[in-house]
Structure 1
């Protein structure tokens, strides 16, 4: 499963629609949230969009929203379950793909208990190794962390969060590098981890930096989602 939707494709359009809907819900706009209201049911493009965005499709439920889920056959639960079944990581999938897959399943259990989605155990054959969190040089670490920004939601992937919190300085370097390179999506993704990390350097100016990233992205839906999530799920220390 590709980690990024191609531009100007039906998949990229579906990803943008969901990302915008999630961001509106996180900002308290757009009324009640339901993933199923943003996507066509039983549509493989819709299921692929869920896999691209991962756990973020359920981010509004991390705020404590209590939609009428209606059991395991409720539309949102069914959509997530179908997406996991339709697009599991292949045997040669990257660690990022495995982490994203398990993160979506973990989010469904945490935020949509009726979904009861099954996920492969940590360390299962096919990938999901976490040694990169400790060993990757900071540019590659920042790239991977940004790809997995959806796992920065509360309660998800605690081992990954702890590992990245131990490399706050490296993530800060990655954030600055992404801004300088005008890679707004990577900057926003790294910024999500940093707002939840301890001991972020005060000289980084993270809050102002994320506002700048949002503005300079030109309304990129995924950047808008990341910056909305950064505002709604802060943590750590002074920034």
Structure 2
């Protein structure tokens, strides 16, 4: 673990997980285990909590490259879903993250016949996003950046597509405020949905975000995901 970035055991575990996801995105190696490389298994309580923070992005390399995820990563993500369900009064973003973790597991690694599956979890409400000011909208979408992946329709994705201009404004604002994680999350959404103004210069903007904020592997994760999705759309 890189202690220079670890203000707490949980922060260190999140840093290590995000770093391993980035390495897998760069290499395209779907056979490697993200959790194993980060020293996390199903019995590591701190590691399970870190997976809850990373969310479905744990399986992002498999999602973007269209390959089967490593069974060890599937097992840890499944454990995180079971161990950390959202409370009834949890923020909407937490509920959406949980829903996306379950839907990703069901899509990428459906349980074998007779095996127990995570409980069903209805798609949360997203009406609050439709009327949110563009600043708050960008903030919430950046928190929900793991949902910005291809072929996974949701109310959040539809809200993002309907407000691409607002999201573009939020991207610029985040860059100006040097909020690199928010900028990277907003940029990832724009790469996933398209529709941003041509004058935005998203590609160069993402380069700048990675240059300035790349010390945080979560920033690099979102930027790398954005580039892979943009490349796929261009093909």
* TM-score, structure 1 as length reference: 0.86
Stretches of structure 2 that go unaligned for 5 or more consecutive residues are: none
Partner residue of 1:100 out of 82, 97, 100: 97
Shift of 1:153: 1.5
Q: Does 1:64 align with 2:66?
A: yes
Q: How does 1:113-128 map to 2 (within 5 A)?
A: 113-114=110-111, 116-122=117-123, 128=124
CA distance in 2, matches of 1:218, 1:26: 15
CA distance in 1, matches of 2:186, 2:214: 18
How many pairs align?
223
Checking the alignment, whether the CA contact within 8 Å between 2:192 and 2:229 is kept in structure 1 is yes
Alpha-carbon distance change, 233 to 14 in structure 1, aligned in 2, over 3 angstroms: same
Counterpart residue number, 1:190? 186
Stretches of structure 1 that go unaligned for 5 or more consecutive residues are: 1-5, 123-127
Checking the alignment, whether the CA contact within 8 Å between 2:30 and 2:62 is kept in structure 1 is no
Tell me how large the CA RMSD over aligned residues is: 2.2
CA distance in 1, matches of 2:172, 2:157: 20
> Secondary structure of the residue that 2:101 maps to in structure 1?
helix
Counterpart residue number, 1:48? 49
Alpha-carbon distance change, 235 to 162 in structure 1, aligned in 2, over 3 angstroms: farther
Pick which of 216-225 and 228-237 moved more: 228-237
Higher share of residues assigned helix: 2
* TM-score, structure 2 as length reference: 0.87
Counterpart residue number, 1:79? 76
> What per-residue deviation string (whole Å, max 9, x for no partner) do you get for residues 10-39 of structure 1?
111111111111111111267833233124
